[in-house]
Amino acid sequence: MWTGRFTQATADKVLRYSESVSYDWELYRHDIAGSIAHARAQLAAGMLTQEEFDAIEEGLRSILADIDAGNFAWKRELEDVHMNIESELTHRIGSTGAKLHTARSRNDQVATDTRLYCRDRIDSILPALRGLQRVLVDKAEQYQDLRIPGYTHLQRAQPVTVAHHLLAYVEMLARDASRLADCRRRLNVCPLGSGAIAGSTINLDRAAIAAELGFDAVTENSMDAIADRDYVLECLFCLSLIGVHLSRLSEDLVLWSSSEFGFCTLSDAHTTGSSLMPQKKNPDVCELTRGKTGRLVGNLVSVLVAVKGLPLTYNRDLQEDKEPLFDSFATILLALQVNAEMIDAMQMNPDRCASAVADPLLLATDLADYLVRRGIPFRQAHELVGKAVAFSVDTDTPLNQLSPEQFQSISSAFGEDVHSVFDLERAFRLRTNPGSPGAERTKHRLAYWRKELS
């Protein structure tokens, strides 16, 4: 592509190996916005006449309209989005188009475009996060009094409510949104004007360029501005962690919707059948979310590895940041949207939930607390309840059906009122601390999220 220094054309295989326009065309809006701001700064610095600036702006806007309409032919031999647009501009308005690149490099150009892209994509992800949170809050409110076993090690542990379980994911997504917003703030500085590595002897008003593009400030070190991909990595990490949270939610729903659990039913619109077994109703959205999370994590790792050994400043390795970045943003946006749809249509099965939560062993810890309130140290209470559970298993008698005499044969610390522990209503009434699944705490948290997400 380049002339002057080179006497041979780029080999076709090298061109196919090195081109990026097949994917970085996605930056066209940001590239054109950056070019218009750069040209306006050239005008202010006397590098362009008003007539030249008007021609550049009009030419770039006409290119934008053609790309939007699908009427633009991307040329692989021009390598990337930047050269495709600049070449077409010069074709349309003549030699004035060749002035546009004064005082900038593709290095600071791509860094600017990518920051603008990340900022815009974050602005589309944040509403999708809030949308999924709202659906989870709606579903939690619908089933706020429905109790289920809570699990540790995938073993029944203590009773919780469906609302408390779903609100756990609302909390996770809130942290995800906070991280993304913080990432957006950190990346919103303008590198344009840093040149290829050391700025330019033609000094344009960088602050004015930054203001026009909506940046909060300009970068303060040209070498760092060109080499920096922290913001890409931070975006990829944030998106990966959202994926991890969605994957954990997916695993819960895979279990809940199975015949073995039967806690919920996913809609036909969000499940699939089997090509062989006509009875099957597979939670494919959940499984795909788990699988796509692996891709999100892989995208993060691929860019970390690409950047880890690079000396300052620009190296062509950095071209490899874009496909993972574009893929991760597109993947997580669709994942958030489809999961919101699926959960909105999901129905809980109260009878199966009630049957599972009736297991008296779920209140074994409450039984230990009962002994603590009767003056027994917790470690000793834990041991005594363990013996009671073993006795229950050995005699094939449910824990809540052991007689007071049988409990007292284990320890005189058990009173005649021991069976009061196995009242679920009482168990939830006693859970009043912030963060607990008690009814009043759940109502309080639902009200908080209603206000927060309104």
Residue positions annotated with a catalytic role = 153, 274
Buried b (16+ CB within 10 A) or exposed e, 104-129: bbbbbbbbbbbbbbbbebbeebeebb
**CA 374 to centroid of chain Cα atoms:** 48
Query: What is the β-pairing status of strands 264-265 and 347-348?
Result: antiparallel
Cβ–Cβ < 8 Å for 327, 116 = no
Cis peptide before 313 (omega within 30 of 0): yes
Buried b (16+ CB within 10 A) or exposed e, 149-187: bbeeeeebebbbbbbbbbbbbbebbbebbebbeebbeeb
What is the rounded distance in angstroms from the CA atom of residue 261 to the CA atom of residue 154? 12
Count the residues in the chain.
454
SS3 at position 158? strand
Cβ–Cβ < 8 Å for 282, 239 = no
DSSP 197-258: TT--SS---HHHHHHHTT-SEE-S-HHHHHH--HHHHHHHHHHHHHHHHHHHHHHHHHHHTS
User: Which residues pair with residue 155 across a beta bridge?
Assistant: 152
- Tell me how many degrees the CA angle 132-137-138 measures, rounded to the nearest 5: 95
Helices (H) then strands (E): counts for the chain = 18, 6
SS3 at position 266? coil
Alpha-carbon dihedral 338, 339, 344, 348, rounded to 10 degrees: 140
Query: What is the β-pairing status of strands 217-218 and 189-190?
Result: parallel
